[in-house]
């Protein structure tokens, strides 16, 4: 198989660029325009390629042949040799979320084992953030899902496309079925756990009511603005992270509650210990080089990217950092989302601030090539060393805290830790100032508008 992408500024531009193009098997349309403006595009694609599977969604940014686009539309055309496609679409009912997910995948699961899809692309349009219950069916049936939630900076105009129809509050899924189809996926989240551990002392569902016996909003204000009121845009740069039942949970603030609680993107149970998690695209790249190198050796034939709208990983149209590294494997095609879907052995989760990809190959497993080493981007101006300093300093502070407890219990030990602790306090003043300076240049996150 292979994929190409075409970026178009207008419907006339689309007509011109599609001249002479061979009919594809799968079309993905990602456009910056409203549902009304998308209608002529859907009609023309139906006339041009009536036999193709046609999906798409509203997207404020998209990726065409490795370049990031902020306007018009990107059309991704995929050609399969040994696989076939099947699709379904259903309304997204936020009152019956789990049932909506079951209905979306019911026709796929009704097929015999030979016709079960190896991977799914799911696109969804909703007024509110998608709940994890929508993908409970994926955990029960071990489904592999990639994709994301539609979104435009101007609310109310987003949409999804399925064949010739445009919908709002709807989900669409495409299953890729092939005996020899292989797929690789990964998710990269740029974050650093920062600050001390805190205890969730009251929570109800996805609402955290109290942290350390104080209203959750008060904790955010205390640590992020010295007690002053803060905007939701600022707050959702800082998730709360914990590990529950061996699963890492990163919960992003979605809205302020009237009682001082905070509605989070994921539920964190009462009794969990949490830390602030700061999202920033300048986090160290070294940890993902082996992953991308392994992908490069697996001979992928197409790579589809579903990236977070909050990520500033491009300069003008040219990608930076992780997108640039993935582009060394193959030219990328994809879109930016207001929530990215990613499957693990624990089911499918709705990610935030994440870069996810689906790499597809039709020739079966076992193939491997000798590949040139992936080149790291120029890091002369990177903030990664500062973030590593922050992480290491707080880790050492926790170790010093543990040593302090041990020393109190064992008075005969020496007091060298006091001098180290004083140094760590000095470092924390530096870190606070540096972090405050860097966050002033961080663009607003799309999740504040969910």
pLDDT on residue 376? 74
Measured CA angle at 95 (ends 90, 100), to 5 deg: 25
Residues 121, 101 share a domain: yes
Q: Are 348 and 138 in contact (CB under 8 A)?
A: yes
Q: What is the pLDDT of residues 216-260, one digit of tens each?
A: 999 999 999 888 888 988 887 888 988 876 667 888 898 999 999
In this structure, of 194-208, 277-291, 350-364, the range with the lowest mean pLDDT score is 277-291
Q: Which is more confidently placed, 430 or 158?
A: 158
| pLDDT confidence bin for 285, thresholds 50/70/90 | confident
Residues 412, 298 share a domain: no
Strand 62-64's sheet: what is its strand order? 67-69, 62-64, 333-337, 302-308, 354-361, 182-189
> Would 37 be classed as within a structural domain?
yes
Residues 180, 199 share a domain: no
Three-state secondary-structure class, residue 72: coil
Helix/strand/coil (H/E/C) assignment for every residue in 347-404: EEEEECCEEEEEEEECCCCCCCCCCCCCCCCCCCCCCHHHHHHHHHHHHHHHHHHHHH
- Cα–Cα distance measured from residue 1 to residue 399, given in angstroms and rounded to the nearest whole number: 52
Number of domains comprising the chain: 3
What DSSP character marks residue 59? B
- Cα–Cα distance measured from residue 170 to residue 149, given in angstroms and rounded to the nearest whole number: 10
Residues 264, 165 share a domain: no
Which of 229, 251, 278 is the last residue before a domain boundary? 278
> Which residue range(s) make up the domain with 214?
192-278
Residues 233, 102 share a domain: no
Percentage of the chain modeled with pLDDT above 90 = 54
Three-state secondary-structure class, residue 26: strand
Residues 168, 143 share a domain: yes
Residue of 331, 387, 373, 291 lying closest to 63 (CA atoms): 331
The predicted model scores a pTM of 0.74
Which of 278, 300, 324 is the last residue before a domain boundary? 278
Residues 133, 47 share a domain: yes
CA–chain centroid gap for 250, Å, is: 12
> Would 379 be classed as within a structural domain?
no
Q: What is the pLDDT of residues 58-73, one digit of tens each?
A: 999 999 999 999 999 9
CA distances from 227 to 215, 218, 309, 414 (A): 12, 7, 29, 38
3-state DSSP: the chain helix, strand, coil percent, rounded to 5? 30, 35, 35
Residues 71, 137 share a domain: yes
Contacting residues for 286 by C-beta, under 8 A, at least 6 apart: 376
> Would 56 be classed as within a structural domain?
yes
Q: Which is more confidently placed, 370 or 359?
A: 359
Residues 297, 171 share a domain: yes
Which of 242, 262, 278 is the last residue before a domain boundary? 278
Three-state secondary-structure class, residue 302: strand
Residues 124, 15 share a domain: yes
Residues 257, 179 share a domain: no
């Amino acid at each position: 198989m292979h994929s190409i992408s075409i970026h178009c500024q207008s419907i006339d531009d689309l007509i011109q660029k599609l001249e002479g193009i061979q009919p594809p098997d799968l079309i993905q349309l990602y456009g910056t325009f409203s549902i009304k403006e998308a209608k002529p595009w859907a009609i023309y694609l139906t006339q041009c390629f009536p036999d193709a599977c046609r999906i798409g969604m509203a997207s404020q940014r998209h990726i065409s042949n490795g370049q990031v686009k902020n306007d018009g539309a990107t059309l991704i055309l995929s050609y399969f040799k040994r696989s076939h496609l099947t699709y379904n679409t259903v309304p997204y009912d936020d009152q019956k979320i789990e049932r909506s997910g079951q209905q979306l995948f019911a026709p796929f699961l009704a097929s015999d084992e030979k016709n079960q899809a190896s991977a799914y692309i799911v696109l969804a349009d909703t007024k509110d953030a998608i709940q994890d219950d929508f993908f409970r069916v994926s955990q029960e049936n071990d489904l592999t899902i990639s994709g994301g939630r539609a979104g435009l900076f101007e609310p109310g105009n987003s949409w999804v496309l399925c064949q010739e129809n445009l919908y709002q509050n709807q989900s669409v899924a495409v299953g890729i079925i092939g005996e020899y189809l292989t797929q690789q996926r990964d998710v990269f989240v740029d974050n650093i756990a920062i600050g001390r551990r805190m205890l969730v002392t009251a929570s109800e569902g996805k609402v955290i009511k109290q942290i350390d016996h104080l209203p959750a909003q008060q904790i955010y204000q205390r640590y992020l603005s010295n007690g002053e009121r803060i905007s939701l845009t600022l707050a959702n740069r800082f998730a709360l992270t914990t590990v529950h039942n061996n699963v890492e949970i990163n919960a992003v603030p979605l809205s302020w509650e009237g009682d001082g609680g905070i509605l989070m993107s994921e539920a964190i149970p009462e009794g969990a210990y949490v830390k602030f998690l700061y999202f920033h695209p300048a986090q160290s790249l070294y940890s993902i080089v082996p992953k991308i190198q392994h992908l490069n050796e697996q001979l992928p034939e197409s790579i589809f990217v579903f990236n977070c709208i909050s990520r500033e990983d491009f300069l003008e149209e040219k990608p930076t950092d992780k997108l640039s590294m993935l582009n060394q494997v193959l030219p990328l095609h994809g879109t930016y989302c207001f929530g990215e879907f990613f499957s693990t052995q624990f089911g499918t989760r709705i990610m935030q601030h994440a870069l996810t990809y689906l790499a597809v190959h039709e020739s079966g497993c076992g193939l491997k090539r000798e590949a040139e080493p992936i080149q790291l981007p120029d890091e002369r101006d990177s903030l990664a060393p500062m973030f590593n300093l922050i992480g290491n300093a707080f880790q050492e502070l926790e170790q010093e805290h543990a040593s302090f407890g041990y020393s109190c219990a064992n008075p005969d030990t020496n007091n060298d830790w006091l001098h180290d602790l004083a140094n760590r306090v000095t470092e924390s003043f530096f870190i606070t100032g540096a972090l405050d300076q860097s966050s002033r240049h961080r663009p607003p996150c799309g999740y504040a508008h969910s």
